Amino acid sequence: MSPADFRRYALFYLGYYGALGAYTPYIGRWVVANGHGGYAVGAMLALWYGGRIVAPPTWARFSARSVRPGHWLVAGCSLAMLGFVAFAGFDTGVMLFVTMAWFGVFFNAVMPQFEAMTLSALGPRNHYYGRIRMWGSVGFLVVAGSYGWLLDRLGNDVFVWLTLPWLLLTVVAAWLHRGDRPTALPTAGTPREVLWRRPGARRLLLVALLVQLGFGPFYVFFTLHLQAQGHDGFAVGVLWAIGVLCEIVMFWQAPRLVQRFGAQRLMSACIVATVLRWTLVALLGGSFAWMALAQTGHALSFAAFHAGCMRRMAELFPQRRDMAAAQGLLYGFSGGIGGVAGAGLAAVAWQYGGGRLAFLCGAVVGLVALTAHLLPVRVLRPQPAA
């Protein structure tokens, strides 16, 4: 990959995750500021993650058949931006959730396609994926670390307008890929049911789903949990920034770790760190120092785990023709089913026991994920009929 191509791919991650850096930490704050409760926040995030169930595999199918897949990327980013603009007019009532569904479908549709494009462009040098993906973390860091302070001073009403420039950058970055050619013949892809049966695929999808489910309280209520514990907007932003800064460092080091330890052992360590992290957040949320320590765990629980998943995807699906469909499966299971279930679990736990119960539930789910990851393969493999 040439330096110019590296910049093209890095720019898309920068814009996409910059927008996500506004959305993920602060959408709950914006919804609550408009008079809604915990269930509404959970429903909003469930719709967001629900888009990951339907959109990625459908989008991957259409884009894989196109001779100009870059045009699909531009279209998806443009439609996502238009959907987000609608939040400026629909901040209450049914249309709030309709707008959320629109935005969630198109914004979530494009990333699996782009991940497949990135891995295909890297080819056998896929262990360098983390150094491109790191620029997404830079965008997330800049936004998540500053928007809490900005919203404290400018008011929650500016949330939509502060997010739109990052969505526009995503459209511009997608435009740079408009002429990208397909990585394989459109008719040469392997059916998804065949990919599903590939040895090791079901385990990876299950573990990714459970880890994402355990992240539900973090993505839905972390900001609100910190505010309930007495932290102001500046402190919340700093804590988000600590997590993402550690994530950036880890993405830069991930190629060495994956090469040295292998994806399986690295993912085991990441899940253990995740369980410890949610336990700290649940029990010591009022302490800035302990929360800062917990946020350093983002390096393992998110960045290294994600890099490990990408390596396992490259190992399980080495054919470029399979990568887009396989990425769609991963996003559908982890970010889709796991995200919806995680948002629902978090909303119910929040209503009954606040952040303490929600994050303890996340820790328990992490233990289940670790068990699934460490089970012998034969336990997870369907047994032949007698």
- Listing DSSP states for 239-285 in one string gives HHHHHHHHHHHHHHHHHHHHHHH-HHHHHHHHHHHHHHHHHHHHH-T
Q: Is 249 exposed, middle or buried (0-12, 13-18, 19+ CB in 10 A)?
A: middle
Alpha-carbon dihedral 181, 184, 187, 189, rounded to 10 degrees: -130
Cα–chain center distance at 139: 14
pLDDT, position 380: 45
Q: What homologous superfamily does CATH list for 3-377?
A: MFS general substrate transporter like domains (1.20.1250.20)
Please give the model's pTM, rounded to 2 decimal places: 0.77
Q: Which residue has the tokens 């992240």?
A: 215
pLDDT, position 363: 96
User: Which residues in the chain show pLDDT less than 70?
Assistant: 1-3, 57, 60, 64, 66, 124, 126-127, 181-199, 319-324, 328, 376-386
Distances (CA, A) of 26 to 29, 45, 144: 5, 12, 8
Where does the chain have alpha helices with state H?
Answer: 3-33, 38-65, 69-85, 93-122, 129-154, 159-175, 192-197, 201-214, 216-228, 233-261, 263-283, 288-296, 298, 305-316, 320-331, 339-374, 377-380
pLDDT, position 261: 87
pLDDT, position 80: 93
pLDDT, position 366: 95
pLDDT, position 182: 60
